[in-house]
Amino acid sequence: MSRQSLTKAHAKISELTWEPTFATPATRFGTDYTFEKAPKKDPLKQIMRSYFPMEEEKDNRVFGAMDGAIRGNMFRQVQQRWLEWQKLFLSIIPFPEISAARAMPMAIDAVPNPEIHNGLAVQMIDEVRHSTIQMNLKKLYMNNYIDPAGFDMTEKAFANNYAGTIGRQFGEGFITGDAITASNIYLTVVAETAFTNTLFVAMPDEAAANGDYLLPTVFHSVQSDESRHISNGYSILLMALADERNRPLLERDLRYAWWNNHCVVDAAIGTFIEYGTKDRRKDRESYAEMWRRWIYDDYYRSYLLPLEKYGLVIPHDLVEEAWNRITNKFYVHETARFFATGWLANYWRIDPMTDTDFEWFEDKYPGWYSRFGKWWEAYNRLRYPGKNKPIAFEDVGYEYPHRCWTCMVPCMIREDMVMEKVDGQWRTYCSETCAWTDIKAFRPEYEGRDTPNMGRLTGHREWETLHHNKDYSEIIQDLGYVRDDGKTLIPQPHLELDDPKKLWTVDDMKGNVFMSPNILLNEMTDDERAAWATAYRANDNICRV
C-alpha cells in the first residue's frame, strides 16, 4: 500500500458489508456445521489494489522464464522419462484448481462472517489464475517437447481415464457435499495446507533435476498464493472449533480428508518423483524423505498437533499409518508397478527401470529389489510388441488388483484389503479407513446424528466396469489413445521412438479381453468370494519369473 496503511485500508473495506434486512443471501450449499458462536476476523487483509499488480509481477516472471526456456532450448536437456508423467499430472491439476475457485462461494455461503468473505473471493481469482497458467504450461510442453501425443488430447483423456478419475477426487471433493467438509477441511485444511507441499514444491524440485525448470517456475508461483489460502482455511477451522457441536464432524472430516489425500496424492506424486526421475544421486531425497520433511514435520507436527490445544482430535493413527504405508508397505512402488502394468490404458509412455534405478531404490527402500526387481526386469523384457502380449496379459506373477471403491486407487497392499457388501453390492477397499469413509462417513447419518448435507459416493467408480469383457483393441480405440496414423498407440512401455517396429499398435492389442474385477467379484458365490478374498490378501504378488 502506498497511500494508506494496510490496516486502515482494510478497516475501510470492511465497511462495505452490511446486515441485510430485505432478504438474506440464498444458502445454495448446505452444511451440518454451525457457526453461531464463531469469532469473526479476517486473517488475510488482501486488498485488490495491491493484489493485481502483485500477481501481474509474478506473471511477468513466469512468462519471462517461459520465453527464456524456448530461446535456451530447454528441451534439449529435458528427460523424457520425466516429461511423460507430466502428460498425466498436467491433465489432472487444472481441474482441481478451477474446482477450488468453485468451492469458494460454498465457503462464503456456509460461513456467516463477512470479514472472511473478501479473502475467499480473492482465493477464487487465484484459482482461475492457477488453472489457466497450468493449461498454458502444458501447451508449451505440447509445442516444444519431442512427443506431443497425450498432451494433444489432454482434457479428453483426463475425463475418460482411470487415473484421471482418481485425480478427479482432488477437485470434485472440493465442490460437492457438505460445504465445510468440501471447501474447508478437504480443500484448504488438508489438501492445500499439507499436500500442496509435495505437489507444488517437492515435485517441481525434481523437475529441475530432470532438466525442466518451467514446472518449478510455474508451480512455485502458484504455491506463493497458497499461503493466503492456508490462512483462509485456518481461520474457518478456528471458527468451527468454537462450537462443540462441530467436533464430531471435524474429527470425521479430518480422518476422511487426510486419508483420501494420502491415498490419492502420495500415489501419484510419489510415483512421478520416484519413477519419473533420472537423478539417482544417493543424497537426493527420496519421496519418503520429502514426505517426512514436508508433510510429517511441516504439516503434522507444526500445524495439526498445535490444534490439539483447542480440543481438536487429530488422526495420529492415520498419519502414522500413511508413513507406514509409504516406508514399510511400499505404497508408492506398488502404485508405480500398477501404472506400468496398465501402460496400455495410459496416454503417456513409461520408461523401464535400469540397474542404476534398482540400486537407488534398494538404497532408499531396503528390500525393494526382492519385491519389485524381477517384475521390472520382466517389464523391460516385454517392452516391444511382436513376440509377447502387453505385460498385463502375460503371466509374470502379478495379480491385477481390485479397486478401492472409495479412493479408486487399487487395493495394492493386499493384506489390508477390505471386502464388504454395501448398498447391495460387493465392494473392495484398500484399507479400513476407505471402507469407513464409504460405509460410515459419506452417509446421511453419522454416529446417531443427522448429516443430510454430507456428500455421497456416486458414479461408475470402477473404471474397468465400463470396459468389461471387451477386446482391448476396441477399448483403446474407444478411449482415443491412438496416434495420428490411426494405429500406433499413444502409450508405450518404453521411450524409444526411433523404430516403428518397437511401437505397439492397435493390432497388437487384439485378442486380449479385458475383465472387470468388481463384476467378477459380484458374480461369485459366497464361498468363492470368501476364498478369493483370503487368497487375495495372502498373495505377496512377488514376481519370480
Partner 1 sequence: MADSPVAAPTKRSFPRVEFTDSEAGALEFPSSKSRTYNYFKPAKLRATVYEDVTVDVQPDPDRYLTQGWIYGFGDGPGGYPHDWTAAKSSNWHQFLDPNEEWEQTIFRNNAAVVRQINLCLENAKRANAYDHWNAPWSKFVAQNLGAWMHAENGLALHVFTSIQRSCPSNMINNAVAVNAAHKMRFAQELALFNLDLSESHLEFDGSAHKEAWQNGSEWQPTRKVVEELTATGDWCELLFATNVVFEQLVGQLFRSELMMQVSARNGDYITPTIVGAGENDYNRDSSYTRVLFQLLVQDEKFGASNKELFGTWMTKWVPRCLDAANAMQPIWSQPADKVRTYAESFQSAKEKFTQMLEEIGLDAPKELNQ
| Residue 101 binds partner 1 (CB under 8 A) | yes
What is the identity of the amino acid at 279?
Answer: D
CB-based contacts of 447, cutoff 8 Å, min separation 6: 248
Q: How far is the CB of 53 from partner 1 (least distance, A)?
A: 5
Which of 67, 71, 281, 424 touches partner 1 (CB under 8 A)? 281
317 exposure class (CB count in 10 Å sphere: 0-12, 13-18, 19+) = exposed
Tell the burial category of 297 from Cβ atoms under 10 Å away from its Cβ (0-12, 13-18, 19+): exposed
Within residues 196-255, the interface with partner 1 by CB under 8 A covers 208-211
Residue 351 Cβ vs partner 1, minimum distance, rounded to whole Å? 12
> Does 466 help bind partner 1 (rule: CB under 8 A)?
yes
CB of 526 to partner 1, least distance (A): 28
The residue type of 14 is S
79 binds partner 1 (CB under 8 A): yes
Q: Does 346 bind partner 1 (CB under 8 A)?
A: no
**Is-contact 91 231, C-beta < 8 A?**
no
User: In angstroms, what is the minimal distance from the CB of 83 to partner 1?
Assistant: 7
Residue 67 as a binder of partner 1 (CB under 8 A): the answer is no
Residues 162-181 that bind partner 1 (CB under 8 A): 165, 168-169, 172-173, 175-178
Q: Which of 146, 530, 535, 545 binds partner 1 (CB under 8 A)?
A: 146
- Identify which range of 238-246, 249-257, 308-316, 495-503 contacts partner 1 by CB under 8 A: 495-503
Nearest by Cα to 483 from 143, 150, 145: 150
CA distances from residue 328 to 324, 367, 446, 528 in whole angstroms, order as listed: 5, 9, 33, 31
Handedness of CA 440, 441, 444, 448 (dihedral sign): positive
User: Is the C-alpha dihedral spanning 423, 426, 427, 431 positive or negative?
Assistant: positive
Binding mask 473-492 for partner 1 (x = CB under 8 A): ----------xxx-xx-x--
Q: Which of 41, 61, 68, 132 binds partner 1 (CB under 8 A)?
A: 132
3-state secondary structure of 428: strand
Least Å distance, CB 165 to partner 1, is: 5
Query: Is 526 a binder of partner 1 (CB under 8 A)?
Result: no
From candidates 34, 160, 388, 473, binder to partner 1 by CB under 8 A? 160
Region 390-409 residues binding partner 1, contact defined as CB under 8 A = 408
Q: Work out whether 158 is an interface residue with partner 1 (CB under 8 A).
A: yes
Span near partner 1 by CB under 8 A; candidates 104-112, 409-417, 420-428, 521-529: 104-112
In order of 99, 236, 372, the CA distances from 26 in angstroms are: 21, 20, 55
Query: Which letter, b or e, does each residue of 60-69 get, where b requires 16 or more Cβ atoms within 10 Å of its Cβ?
Result: eebeebbeeb
Interface residue with partner 1 among 112, 156, 381, 468 (CB under 8 A) is 156
List of long-range contacts for 438-447, beta carbons under 8 Å, 24+ apart: 438/405, 438/406, 441/252, 441/255, 441/256, 442/177, 442/256, 446/248, 446/249, 446/252, 447/248
Touching partner 1, residues 432-451 (CB under 8 A): 444, 451
Stretch that binds partner 1, among 2-10, 310-318, 380-388, 527-535 (CB under 8 A): 2-10
Q: How many residues of this chain bind partner 1 (CB under 8 A)?
A: 127
Residues 32-51 that bind partner 1 (CB under 8 A): 47-49
- Please report whether residue 305 would count as binding partner 1 according to CB under 8 A: no
Q: Applying CB under 8 A, does 283 fall inside the site for partner 1?
A: yes
